[in-house]
Structure 1
Amino acid sequence: MKRIRVAVAGLGIIARTVHLPLLRRRDDLFEIVALADMSPSRVAQVGERYGVEPSRRYTDAARMVTDGGCDGLLLATSGSHGELAAAALHAGLPVLCEKPLAYTLAEAGRLAASSTGALMVGYMKQYDPAVVEAARLLADLGGAQAVHAVEVTVLHPSGDRQLRFANLPAAPGDVPATTAARLAAADRALLDTAVGTDPGARTLYQILINSISHDLSLLRLFTGPPATVDHVATWPLPDGPAEPSVEISGRLPGGARYGIRWLHLPDYPAYRETVTVHHARGSLELVFPSPYLLNAPTTLTVVDEHGGGERRAAFRSVSEAFEEELVAFHAMVTAGVVPLTGIAEGAADIRTSQQVIRRYGELTGAAIGGEAESR
């Protein structure tokens, strides 16, 4: 199989704990040839660790894209990815883009209008072996039309608690203040365009596009995107952090119902996510561990009737979802294999997130602006 040259933009937590180690593990498929990060010390340190020559270490990701010399871009910078993804596609580079694809539908529209390049959104859960097996079993049952309800519960501790095992160094202090301020201002402007200026709506939107988007991707895989958003609620912990918990429910295509409860519990002992698909004759229950723990199995429990009683069968695989995602990216680059989530599907998740914000405004009286006002 062809070995492709990969440039990595953004050396934050997900790149250092997941993507870079897996790219090295799969050096039969990938060669890391360039790195970019706003921190000069971080890009130097990571460059040394992964053997990237000094001339291919950048503090400007756009310059890295312009310089070329690679076959694909892994995009893991903070904030919206719309501008840099568009530059890469314009240069003919295939992109594996961490979520969020973008903050606005306008950005997604510009990506869709690009005449060259291919893009895959990094929803690794879609490539999890347990999810693949659940999708196969659901297809045997009749597909989306067999679904009666989908229930999602996410127990979300703080990032520090999820990453205690990783022993990551403290954040570097050498990011230029002017660069950080410019990027923060650009993201604020994009949030204005997406949902307006209400603080509660902006916080909820960032939870949606940065975390709940994974659950929206699973709904799309199993049933198609939500047809309606009927209920939205947010509530904080007593004396807790500003970021609230979130509850969303509505109708799926074909009349089934969904419910998502994303609980922000900073001191909860471990991340846990449960996605249960109920059908007339049983259930498919997926339990996901922390996404940062490589090769920790997701458990699929199949509940059905057998011999007049309940039967529960478990499926587990230690094949890593992020690694399977990278293999799919390689197939997209080398063979044109269509990813499970491309630009159109990523835009659908942005659209659903904006529908949630609009409904939030209707129920709470919050002043919703931007694109979400018309969703």
Structure 2
Amino acid sequence: MKIALVGCGAVAQAVYVPLLSRRRDLFEVTAVCDLSATLAGAVGDRLGAPGRYTALDRMLADGGFEAVVMLASGSHGEAVRQALTAGYAVLCEKPLALTRAEVAALPEGRLMVGYMKQYDPAVRRAEELLAELGGAAVIRSVEVSVLHPSGESQLAFANLTRARDVDPELLASLRAAEDDLVSRALGEQAPDSVRALYGVALGSICHDLSLLRRFTGSPEEISHVETWGPAPGSIEISGPLPVAGRFAIRWHYLEDYPAYRETVTVHHDRGSLELVFPTPYLMNAPTTLTMVSQGESRTEWRDVTEAFEVQLAAFHAYVNDGKPPLTGAAGGLEDIVTAQRVAARYAVHHGLPIGGEAA
């Protein structure tokens, strides 16, 4: 399947380039696009892509591919809209957008939102075990802990090509456009603390929201939100699950922490299912699933199959065979709504202004 990449930054270079290079049985990259001609050239060279672009509209008009993989930072709403309107299938990295309105503006089309943890073999195994136990109704609680070091430390091994050739005025205009979208989501008067919380919810915690959607469904209520420490600091979110039990997420930015670590534990009536995720940028580093059952029996399960690679294969199956993805536009929208509920709960609790869609 011929595809085009949009965004040639860290995740493209560290993850997608090596995976697409070894999955040439499924994909041929015919075009790449980035604001930086340097990055487009570097990634194009590594993948042997003849098309190198710095403007999305021109790439979409020239064509020569069947699908688009959106890897750029920030909101993807407008870029996805353009690609779907042009008739291309789209795999879009999270978040799909920053506002509900952007999702509502998307035309009909083949859209898959990339939450690679949903495709992790250990997560799929945990889903199977939970179903055997009785599904969401047996869950007592879901507890999440994320220890998040700096992105630079997580990507130190990757030897990334850096972009230094993008017009500063263009970057400033794009940042202003992103700020405007956040204002539409949270209101013009939303303070920096609420905006920062929303950014973390949609940029990182959304992975845990995507797992809640798989295990239990999205939370319909956020009971408590608190933050502390130097920005982006620590975040605590909790509330009831839609079927049974409650959830609690504790996310900590620890710049000099030795390594990324994410633990998701599902406690049920007869034991626990614990998932421990390594840094997402290391290929084929297995997630560990530990099953705790009666009699303190502990069983560990691992699979080195790369979640990002399974996700890419699922996108191929979606486009070519019509097999539905685990997350489409509706799931992406659910996570935006939950992130807005998180921001609103925090604002109300602290007497801060909240408006826009979150109101």
TM-score (norm 1): 0.94
Q: How does 1:207-226 map to 2 (within 5 A)?
A: 207-226=200-219
Q: Please give the secondary structure, in 2, of the residue aligned with 1:276.
A: strand
Match of 1:166 among 158, 163, 166: 158
Match of 2:313 among 311, 327, 344: 327
2:270 pairs with 1:278: no
Q: Summarize deviations over 1:190-223 as a string: whole Å, max 9, x none.
A: 0100112311111000000010000000000000
Query: Which range moved further: 94-103 or 193-202?
Result: 193-202
Q: In 2, Cα distance between the equivalents of 1:213 and 1:148?
A: 21
Give runs of ≥4 in structure 1 deviating > 3 Å. none
Q: Summarize deviations over 1:112-146 as a string: whole Å, max 9, x none.
A: xx13x211111000000000000000000011111
What amino acid does structure 2 have at the position aligned with 1:164?
Answer: A
Match of 2:179 among 183, 188, 205: 188
What amino acid does structure 1 have at the position aligned with 2:138?
Answer: A
Query: Which range moved further: 40-49 or 147-156?
Result: 40-49
Q: How does 1:181-260 map to 2 (within 5 A)?
A: 181-196=172-187, 197-237=190-230, 242-260=231-249
What amino acid does structure 2 have at the position aligned with 1:234?
Answer: T
Q: In 2, Cα distance between the equivalents of 1:155 and 1:281?
A: 28
Q: Summarize deviations over 1:89-126 as a string: whole Å, max 9, x none.
A: 11111111011100000001112xx13x2111110000
Count of residue pairs the alignment pairs up = 357
Partner of 1:70: 65
Q: Please state how far the C-alpha of 1:176 moved relative to its aligned partner.
A: 1.3
Q: Summarize deviations over 1:135-179 as a string: whole Å, max 9, x none.
A: 00000001111111000000000011111221224x321101232
Match of 1:8 among 1, 5, 9: 5
Q: In 2, Cα distance between the equivalents of 1:91 and 1:189?
A: 26
Q: How does 1:83-122 map to 2 (within 5 A)?
A: 83-111=78-106, 114-115=107-108, 117-122=109-114
CA RMSD of aligned residues (A): 1.0
Partner of 2:43: 46
Q: Unaligned regions of 5+ residues in structure 1, if any?
A: none
Q: Please give the secondary structure, in 1, of the residue aligned with 2:131.
A: helix
Q: Please state how far the C-alpha of 1:62 moved relative to its aligned partner.
A: 2.6
Q: Please state how far the C-alpha of 1:65 moved relative to its aligned partner.
A: 1.8
Partner of 1:154: 146
Q: In 2, Cα distance between the equivalents of 1:166 and 1:41?
A: 17
Q: In 1, Cα distance between the equivalents of 2:313 and 2:98?
A: 27
Q: In 2, Cα distance between the equivalents of 1:287 and 1:246?
A: 19
Q: Please state how far the C-alpha of 1:255 moved relative to its aligned partner.
A: 3.1
Query: Which range moved further: 26-35 or 194-203?
Result: 194-203
Q: In 2, Cα distance between the equivalents of 1:90 and 1:199?
A: 34
Q: Please give the secondary structure, in 2, of the residue aligned with 1:228.
A: coil
Q: Please state how far the C-alpha of 1:185 moved relative to its aligned partner.
A: 1.3
Match of 1:352 among 334, 338, 345: 338
Partner of 1:363: 349
TM-score (norm 2): 0.98
Q: In 2, Cα distance between the equivalents of 1:219 and 1:87?
A: 30
Q: In 2, Cα distance between the equivalents of 1:251 and 1:63?
A: 47
Partner of 2:284: 295
Aligned residues with identical type, % of pairs: 55
